[in-house]
Amino acid sequence: MTHPYLDYQATTPCEPAVVEAMAPYWSELFANPSSRLHRPGLEAATAVERAREQLAAQLGVSIERVVFTSGATEANNLALKGLAEARQHLGRHLITVATEHKAVLDTMRELERRGFALTVLPVGADGLLDLGDLVAALRHDTILVSVMAANNEIGVLQPLAAIGSLCRASGVAFHCDAAQAFGHMALQPDALGIDLLSMSAHKFYGPKGIGALVVGEGITLNPQQHGGGQEGGLRAGTLPVPLIVGMAKAATLALADREEREERLGALRQRLLHGLLAIEGVAVNGSLEQRLAHNLNVRIVGVDGNRLHSLLRRQLTVSGGSACSAGSPSHVLAALGLDRAAAAASVRFGLGRGTTTGDIDQAIAAVAAAVAELRQAPAAVTALDTEALRAPAPC
């Protein structure tokens, strides 16, 4: 990297120790874990089950409840579609929140097209769900509530324990997209009343292409992928042993340094916040108190967002406020009440293990310089700005 990488919520680098743990399973220990009639296959199967045991212990659940997937998007699809199909005889009403990741919102809307009723709850200007709105939305035919743990754009933490308690009292299943949360905060689904929890390894310094769904006791899902009976019949397909081993190793490392990392990154975020607030017209998007320690999302009043990001990308690796779709304004920031111009002039800073004080100071200086230039220069759309409008933002 020639300039600071501050987009750790889009993805994280794979830790060297994780790469090392995976290495043997790409070559000499390459066997299919479903081939259990010979020793190499049994060794591969043992590696998978050892990784499953590690993750289960970290989550405080039994091993059979950890289902490996290709990532949080697939886990969300399996959880939402699988639960809706399995319980449709009990009811067809689903509830989610306007600031959810597209992997949840688009899946819920697909279920709505199939005849399920969908309620999408609003959030306040702080990005938090009003529990009263959830209580009011619950119906006799509600079968599923889906609320993410930590928002991928603004880092806001929803009140999971309170939501879980309401769902339990109402006999409604509670799904939680924890892609941005696992490895960064204490998270045990049973203690929080979560029935279905999704995660993705590349968000906590593991490999891309692997994730998991944690399924609660007594929860039945209709499988969404057929053809081999792997993962207890819930997810057919040859298991990627290297990625599974890497995910478990990354989780172990993430939980080992979580508290120290949270404290260090929280201090760096405060330094970043202090420096940015010294720039006229900078404001924080979402709650600052109920937020991941490594996230900061700000808007800058009075500047053109596309030109701002054109200038920033020359010095920083950061994301805009938009979600995972080209040319579309951020649905998360819109839900907070921001108009299109304010959303476009928003910047997400995602800090991580590699972030230094120097990176933070460089980011502050880059934003200050860009804002000063934009406030002096006449508005004009350049070729680079036009390219920015077409480019998709990462999750």
Per annotation, catalytic residue among 14, 167, 176, 324: 324
Residue 130 lies in a domain: yes
Say which residue, 382 or 337, is predicted with more confidence. 337
Do 370 and 289 lie in a common domain? yes
Give mean pLDDT, residues 261-286: 98
Q: Which residue has the tokens 């490999």?
A: 207
Looking at the structure, tell me whether residues 89 and 154 fall in a common domain.
yes
Whether residues 198 and 313 share a domain: the answer is no
Q: pLDDT confidence of 84, banded at 50, 70, 90?
A: very high
**Is the CA virtual torsion 278, 284, 288, 293 positive or negative?**
negative
**Model pLDDT for residues 56-65, shown as the tens digit of each residue:** 999 999 999 9
pTM: 0.93
Place of tokens 């009043």: 301
CATH of the domain at 279: 3.90.1150.10
Q: Are residues 185 and 268 in the same domain?
A: no
Centroid of chain to Cα 117: 25
Catalytic residue status for 176: no
Same domain? For 343 and 249 the reply is no
52 and 126 part of one domain: yes
| pLDDT confidence of residue 378 | 61
- Domains in the chain: how many in total? 2
CA atoms within 13 A on the CB side of 329: 16
- Listed residue (145, 28, 14, 133) closest to 79, CA to CA: 145
260 Cβ contact list (under 8 Å, min separation 6): none
Q: What is the pLDDT of residue 329?
A: 78
Last residue of a domain, which of 217, 239, 256?
256
| Sheet of strand 211-215: strand arrangement | 66-69, 211-215, 196-200, 173-177, 142-146, 93-97, 117-121
pLDDT at 393: 52
Per the domain annotation, does 263 fall within a domain?
yes
Q: What is the pLDDT of residues 194-211, one digit of tens each?
A: 999 999 999 999 999 999
Separation CA 149–CA 243 (nearest Å): 24
* 327 and 376 share one domain: yes
359: DSSP letter: H
Same domain, 245 and 275: no
- Alpha helices, DSSP H, located in the chain: 16-22, 39-59, 72-87, 102-113, 131-137, 160-170, 189-192, 241-256, 258-277, 305-312, 331-335, 340-344, 357-376, 383-390
Whether 379 has a pLDDT exceeding 70, the answer reads no
Tell me how far apart the alpha carbons of residues 264 and 179 are, in angstroms, rounded to a whole number: 21
**Chosen domain end from 214, 234, 256:** 256
Tell whether the model's pLDDT for residue 360 goes beyond 60: yes
Domain boundary among 225, 256, 287: 256
Residue 274: which domain range? 258-390
Determine how β-strand 346-350 pairs with β-strand 295-300.
antiparallel
Instruction: Classify residue 2: in a domain, yes or no.
Output: no
Distance between the two ends of the chain, CA-based, in angstroms? Answer: 20
**Mean of the per-residue pLDDT values of the chain:** 93
User: What is the mean predicted confidence (pLDDT) over 172-178?
Assistant: 98
Residue 8 lies in a domain: no
Look-up: residue for tokens 């006799």? 140
Residue 199 shares a structural domain with residue 301? no
Query: Has residue 386 got a pLDDT over 50?
Result: no
Residues 147 and 242 in one domain: yes
Measured CA to CA, the distance from residue 188 to residue 70 in angstroms comes to 21
Q: Are residues 52 and 162 in the same domain?
A: yes
Q: pLDDT tens digits, residue range 218-249? A: 999 999 999 988 999 999 999 999 999 999 99
Q: Give SS3 for 55.
A: helix
196 and 286 together in one domain: no
Q: What CATH number should be reported for the domain holding residue 140? A: 3.40.640.10
> Considering only 22-36, 310-324, 365-379, which range has the smallest mean pLDDT?
310-324
Residue 232: inside a domain? yes
Asked if 247 and 206 touch (Cβ cutoff 8 Å), the reply is: yes
Q: Is the pLDDT of residue 4 over 70?
A: yes
Burial class of residue 255 in the structure, from the number of CB atoms within 10 Å of its CB (0-12 exposed, 13-18 middle, 19+ buried): middle
For residue 179, the SS3 value is coil
Domain for residue 110, yes or no? yes
Does residue 3 lie in a domain region? Answer: no
371 occurs within a structural domain: yes
